[in-house]
Chains A and B, each alone.
Chain A
């Protein structure tokens, strides 16, 4: 086991797959010579050369569109969209083209590609560089959606995404890039569509994603001291969704909380609440509670941003207030 940062795990995952398969190519803005604006792709250009690791103009439609054209003609491209907010600029490519191509042509076209992007808050960048847009993507049939919370999952799930025969949108969390964790040595490949139970409790089940996972874990530790024992599930993937783990862990405690960084309406937790309400209603001991960013654009100032996205305090307070 080596200790890597979350950002180093990104480069490690890409490098592992580029070494294994020469069809894997990588493109994006400032990703090659500069090593990425978040330094997530340092060293790839030097290792794999300018044909396979390419800097692009600021042209998000062209980046995603080119990845699509390359994927349907025999390559396995990884495209970087610098900030997930820029999905707005390339949304036609993502939602209308990539997501639908295979279905519309009855399986004639295959699109094995990955779009990596920096998602989420914590950098004081304001409303156009801090959003959590995983729920946008989750709403479109034909896209797989992954959002790891730690370096090992970054490498393993990124490898799985590259090897997957379908388009995968890979959300890296900006607020986690500097965090460290153990990453298995040698080849590391995880499985998409699998949640992980990080902590087993008996009173409540807290389901979280990406940067909300470490907050849920901290909240669980504090709740433990107050006599509330919490299970924490790291969802890791929204599509496919590991409903099996979700339902099993909810039934064990009878109390379900979601911790979501996306704004309230139609956030991923709403889908989970709906599934649990339909399929595990009689196992619940109380209402499902969603802890989310309110339905506002994200403000920039430290105090404002910190108090908009779910905090450890808010998770603890909400669970304490409602779990009784």
Chain B
């Protein structure tokens, strides 16, 4: 087997993480069509390599901050599929017992410090967590994932400057999937690369990475995480990728120019990675066994979530305050 800087077990972890995200997101889509998932949902189909590449490079106590397109990052940190699907389906077994829903997945036990549904909001929060790690001397790094559209909102610029001035151990990762909701990002942005071309304004290196290549993402993740952990300050990374589904459940993505989806599908991150693993000498049978195991896990989580009761109504009044309640008067 060809050997390089990424070892065998890491490659398998990168492959498995991508497959888990792909199969779970597909299942989430099916459950929508069956009306078992309500509300909205933002899938990461086609963008799996970014979540996998970073999560595999992180330490268990590092922090993840993500957006409403956060199923992938939550899963990649090891949150249970049952908890994720249960939350999407509004069941008692959900990660937050049905109180958050698709756009707010949180699993503090896995370092997932929240999915934030207001564009840009979590960049300052991730910087704050990094400040805390810096002050406590814990060596933790804060990872913050967001879309290309986020680069045009004020909080992005405030957080970048703040993190750079305070030299915080935070990594801002822009998943450039080409579209700000339904609008091509290029048509509403003054620079070609909405994140990377702004890096210089904050004294940071311009970094663009192939977001459909899990190895490339992983290498960049390790480099930036090592730098942050070593006191070298923040990084801003733009990962070029493409979401092959619509922006959200309601979006048939008719705005795509003809042929674009097909072009990107040729660069599907999982197909690419599988081909690379085979080239490197991994056994087809080993990968197929992993595919089946993940599919079984998704099926089991689906059945488990379907069997889970709906949340008890008592939780409506719980957990506004630290005392567990919601009382605002005596």
Contacts and interface: CB of A to CB of B under 8 A. Distances in A.
Interface of A: 25, 51-52, 54, 56-57, 59, 61-75, 77, 92-93, 96-97, 101-110, 112, 141-142, 165-166, 193, 239-244, 275
User: Top 7 closest A-B pairs, CB basis?
Assistant: A69-B128, A65-B124, A66-B128, A165-B322, A105-B106, A59-B158, A69-B129
A29 B327 CA distance: 33
B154 interface: yes
B131 A108 contact: no
B161 A57 contact: yes
Contacts of B313: none
B204 to A, nearest CB: 16
Contacts of A62: 124, 127, 155, 158-159, 161-162
B214 interface: no
B107 A66 contact: no
Contact of A65 (B127, B132, B318): B127
B39 to A, nearest CB: 13
Interface in B297-330: 315, 318-324, 326-330
A108 B161 CA distance: 29
B329 A109 contact: no
B328 A241 contact: yes
Given A25-B135, A69-B131, A71-B128, 10 more contacts: A52-B135, A59-B162, A66-B124, A66-B128, A101-B114, A104-B114, A109-B108, A110-B322, A142-B321, A243-B330
A64 B118 CA distance: 15
A104 B126 contact: no
A97 to B, nearest CB: 5
Contacts of B121: 61, 65, 92-93, 96-97
A319 B114 CA distance: 51
Contact of A141 (B131, B142, B165, B320): B320
Nearest to B321: A166
B322 A242 contact: no
B102 to A, nearest CB: 12
A7 B47 CA distance: 53
Nearest to B136: A74
A66 B130 CA distance: 9
B100 A104 contact: yes
Contacts of B330: 193, 240-244
B77 to A, nearest CB: 14
A108 B132 contact: no
A10 B169 CA distance: 32
Contacts of A242: 329-330
Nearest to A98: B125
A62 B124 CA distance: 5
B155 A65 contact: yes
Contacts of B50: none
B124 A106 contact: no
A241 B329 contact: yes
B184 interface: no
B322 A68 contact: no
Nearest to B162: A62
B68 interface: no
Given A106-B97, A165-B322, A69 B126 contact: yes
Interface in B263-317: 315
Contact of A105 (B99, B320, B327, B329): B99
B116 A56 contact: no
A275 B315 CA distance: 25
Interface string B93-122: 001110110001011110001101010011
B104 A68 contact: no
Contact of A106 (B114, B118, B319, B321): B319
B88 interface: no
Nearest to B157: A59
Contact of B113 (A109, A165, A240, A275): A109
Interface in B144-169: 154-155, 158-159, 161-162, 165-166
A109 B125 contact: no
Given A240-B330, A243-B330, A66 B125 contact: yes
Contacts of B58: none
B14 interface: no
20 contacts: A57-B161, A57-B165, A59-B162, A65-B124, A66-B128, A66-B162, A68-B124, A69-B124, A69-B130, A69-B132, A70-B128, A72-B129, A73-B132, A74-B132, A102-B322, A104-B99, A105-B95, A105-B100, A108-B109, A165-B323
**Best-buried of A59, A64, A93, A241 by chain B (most CB within 10 Å):** A59
B179 interface: no
B54 interface: no
Contacts of B125: 65-66, 68-69, 72, 97
Contacts of A97: 116, 118, 121, 125
A71 B96 CA distance: 20
A66 B127 contact: yes
Contacts of A104: 96, 99-100, 104, 106, 114
A243 B327 CA distance: 12
A192 B129 CA distance: 27
Nearest to A245: B330
A107 B136 contact: no
B133 interface: yes
A65 B124 CA distance: 5
Contacts of B315: 106
A220 to B, nearest CB: 25
A72 B320 contact: no
Nearest to A164: B322
Contacts of A72: 113, 125, 129
A141 B326 contact: yes
Contacts of B154: 61
B129 A70 contact: yes
B99 A103 contact: yes
B239 interface: no
